[in-house]
Structure 1
Amino acid sequence: MKSPTLGSWFGRKEMAAPSDIESAALRSDRFRLEREGDWRRLEDIVVSMEKGGLRRIDDDDLLALPTLYRTAASSLSVARETSLDAATLSYLESLVQRAWFQVYGPRKGFFAWLREFIFGGWSRAVREIWLDICIALFAMIAGAVVGWVLVARDSDWYFRLVPTGLADTRAPGASREELLSTLDVEQGTGGLSTFAAFLFSNNAGVCILAFALGFAFGIPSLMLLIHNMAMLGAMLWLFAEAGLITEFSAWLSVHGTTELFGILLSGAAGLHIGRSMAFPGERSVLDAAAISGRRSAVVMVGVVIMMVVAALLEAFPRQLVAGAQSRFIIGGMFLAFWLAYFFLYHPRRLDTASAEDGG
């Protein structure tokens, strides 16, 4: 028996191709007809949601949306595996992407999210971690006291607590005039914008670290707060010894009321996660961490905003405004603003208000 030649083999393949194409087309048509009703219904729901949100969707369609989405996603998977026609595949890919966004994607645009965040979301998240704020505040006060006491007993502790870059002429043994000169205003604004960028990067790094360490049950976050405030306590002692505690406090208050508040919130946010993991209650540890993590993340977004404000205050008003009274006024105004915003500002939830308006 003679074996087939290469030419005869290709001839058979060419003759078989039309029937294969017809079979694939028939299979694709049958697949589409069996499921097209669900696809069309899903598409109508998605189009309505894209035009007017949930208010344009009736309850039956809203309940059916997740199931219809999963059906379309399954159909897309089958279409890819069986190499159905390109038109069906392209239609399903587009439909599944649009449906995913409506089922799992964000419900608001950026400006709507920003409006809700500023007008209630941020302050609400801060109030929800009030216990952690109290614990973090106690740790910060204790850290400042410890730093003061250590340096008062042995001035060598100053160089262990205060980095060399910050100490410069502000060190034990410096004269009153030398210390006072470090609190003077700048003669111009040259280079202050670069200084502001550096300060923001440094301050934000401290806050992010205090937040990130919270996953170790919050203990490292508290230690970081104590260490940073011990440094401040050491500097407070230094200026108090020179009779400049009022001038230094005024100089610090310009940006410090915002910066220290932000550090307090970042430490509290990290502690909130760690405390929820250590004491999850009836939830699992992962669920407790997820819930507290979302709340703390909202707080941290706001902390970044506070660090931007603190860096600008530190680089400009603090460097350009003279006089203890003027500096205290600036720092006091910002402290009053943050306290009022976080603890006195209680707006209604915007999503609740929108639902009531729609009803």
Structure 2
Amino acid sequence: MREVKFLRQNAPHWKKFEQLLKQPKKADADELADLYTRLTDDLAWAQTYYPNSETTAYLNELTAKVHEQIYENKKEDKRRILHFWKQELPQLYYKHHLKLTIAFTVFVIALGIGIISELNDPDFSRMILGDQYVNMTIHNIEQNDPMAVYKQDHSMDMFLGITINNIRVSFMAFVSGVLASVGTGLLLMYNGIFIGAFLAMFSKYGLVTESLLVVFIHGTLELSAIVIAGAAGIVMGNGILFPGSYKRLTSFKQSAREGLKMTFGLVPIFILAGFLESFVTRYTEMPLLLSLFIIAGSLLFVLWYFILYPRHLQQ
């Protein structure tokens, strides 16, 4: 192909690429990657057939600019991700610390209701946990392996199932906030009562300490994350109930966006909790110090990232 024809066919595309580089914010990563691929193809052709021409020099310079822009975009993406976890997310948790307190209070009250109800009504756990689960647990206790439920499934299958379910529950707790926070409150109540009834059932067999040491290996992270997801739901619900000086729709959109970020930030927590429940909790005979170390480490992380670190950022 003669150089004149090559220019006539491709010059409009190159001009378009130049305009795109002048407005980098409008160019997404995929678009720039496609651009770079096309330019390198054109450059390879030009270097082969017109090695000393101005066309080759021009394409070489343009390709270098695109490569630089792709590199800058990658650095910017990394900075944005780091900023989200180090700044934006903790600041949201600080901004909505009152909602976190409310969600935690609702959960603790529900936990107490579950414990008291089970201790005063032996059939309460059957109503909350289901006959099948209670019967299985009693059978495991009689077999001197009260926590055998955590050993039943293959670790990887258990990990995937638990993690997906926990993420689903957290997003349900968040989305339920659209019902003026009532739906979120009910989900927090249910989860609190469920855990309370579960622990009280074991306490009747003198196994409360053992159940706490086993369950809270993963439960420290898991339950904390569910409470925080509940707080995110309350954030969205309050945006509907109390729009302040904003239009109600504007307030809802803003609060929903913030609540969604708070919930999304919990995904790594649920993944880690799912890993612990699937691969670690099953070792119910592990040394006491190791159990306490995992539980204490999880608790310290929750206190640091969701409470202490956000406060530190505001100072």
Q: Is the aligned partner of 1:167 residue 2:134? A: yes
- State the one-letter code of the partner of 1:289: F
Instruction: Show the 5 A alignment for 1:1-359.
Output: 47-50=21-24, 110-164=77-131, 166-171=133-138, 176-178=141-143, 180-183=144-147, 191-320=154-283, 322-346=286-310
- 1:306 and 1:278, CA in 2 relative to 1: closer, same or farther beyond 3 A? same
- State the one-letter code of the partner of 2:217: V
- 1:50 and 1:160, CA in 2 relative to 1: closer, same or farther beyond 3 A? same
Q: CA deviation at 1:289?
A: 1.0
- 1:165 and 1:107, CA in 2 relative to 1: closer, same or farther beyond 3 A? farther
- State the one-letter code of the partner of 2:255: S
What CA RMSD, in Å, does the superposition of the two structures yield over aligned residues? 3.1
Conserved? CA contact 1:250–1:325, under 8 Å: no
Deviations 1:79-110 (A, max 9, x none): xxxxxxxxxxxxxxxxxxxxxxxxxxx99854
Conserved? CA contact 1:214–1:274, under 8 Å: yes
- State the one-letter code of the partner of 1:331: I
* Percent sequence identity over aligned pairs: 23
Cα distance in 2 for partners of 1:194, 1:258 equals 20
Q: Which moved more, 1:156-165 or 1:201-210?
A: 156-165
Q: Tell me the number of residue pairs that the alignment of Structure 1 and Structure 2 aligns.
A: 252
Cα distance in 2 for partners of 1:348, 1:176 equals 48
- State the one-letter code of the partner of 2:240: M
How does the TM-score come out when normalised to structure 1? 0.63
Cα distance in 2 for partners of 1:313, 1:257 equals 10
Cα distance in 1 for partners of 2:153, 2:165 equals 20
Deviations 1:45-66 (A, max 9, x none): 8634529x9xxxxxxxxxxxxx
Residue 87 of structure 1 corresponds to: none
Moved over 6 A (4+): 42-45
Conserved? CA contact 1:255–1:311, under 8 Å: yes
Q: CA deviation at 1:190?
A: 8.1
Cα distance in 2 for partners of 1:142, 1:348 equals 31
Cα distance in 2 for partners of 1:242, 1:252 equals 16
- State the one-letter code of the partner of 1:342: F
Cα distance in 1 for partners of 2:75, 2:255 equals 22
Conserved? CA contact 1:129–1:272, under 8 Å: yes
- Secondary structure of the corresponding residue to residue 158 of structure 1: helix
Cα distance in 2 for partners of 1:282, 1:336 equals 38
Gap runs ≥5 in structure 2: 1-14, 28-72
